[in-house]
């Protein structure tokens, strides 16, 4: 395991600006725990891509080499990468639909 966290660009709601981890928190994870972080670029989130770069986060479309992927809202089933752990807020009904679409796909 490479100890790499990925943060997805939010795609569920065009107005979504929240982030699962702010730059200061990622800076701590990088410096104190030697965790790498990659964030997909976004012009919409409350913190800029440069805010993340400044603290040592790689800004890149590709998060496929991350062990854990974080987000705020549900991730589209078509955007899920196999063999990844995902952490995000969800509504249980939608989560059940998502799980069943993966199982019966």
Residue 70 phi, psi dihedral angles, 5° rounding: -110, 145
pLDDT at 101: 77
Distances (CA, A) of 2 to 35, 86, 96: 8, 16, 30
pTM of the model: 0.80
Alpha helices, H only, 1-105: 23-33, 49-54, 92-103
Instruction: Please tell me the distance from the alpha carbon of residue 100 to that of residue 47, in angstroms, as a whole number.
Output: 34
DSSP 2: -
pLDDT at 94: 65
Provide CATH code, domain 4-103. Answer: 3.40.50.720
pLDDT at 60: 98
pLDDT at 59: 98
User: One digit per residue, pLDDT tens: the chain, 105 residues?
Assistant: 469 999 999 877 788 899 999 999 999 999 999 999 999 999 999 999 999 999 999 999 999 999 999 999 878 888 888 888 888 876 666 667 777 777 775
Instruction: Please tell me the distance from the alpha carbon of residue 11 to that of residue 35, in angstroms, as a whole number.
Output: 25
Q: Which of 69, 60, 58 lies closest to 8, judged by CA?
A: 69
């Amino acid at each position: 395991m490479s100890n790499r966290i990925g943060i997805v660009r939010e795609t569920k709601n065009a107005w979504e600006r929240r982030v699962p981890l702010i730059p200061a928190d990622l800076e701590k994870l990088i410096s104190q725990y030697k965790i790498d972080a990659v964030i997909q670029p976004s012009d919409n989130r409350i913190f800029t891509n440069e805010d993340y770069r400044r603290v040592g986060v790689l800004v890149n479309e590709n998060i496929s080499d991350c062990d854990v992927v974080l987000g705020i809202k549900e991730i589209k089933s078509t955007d899920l990468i196999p063999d990844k752990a995902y952490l995000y807020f969800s509504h249980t009904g939608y989560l059940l639909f998502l799980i069943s679409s993966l199982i019966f796909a």
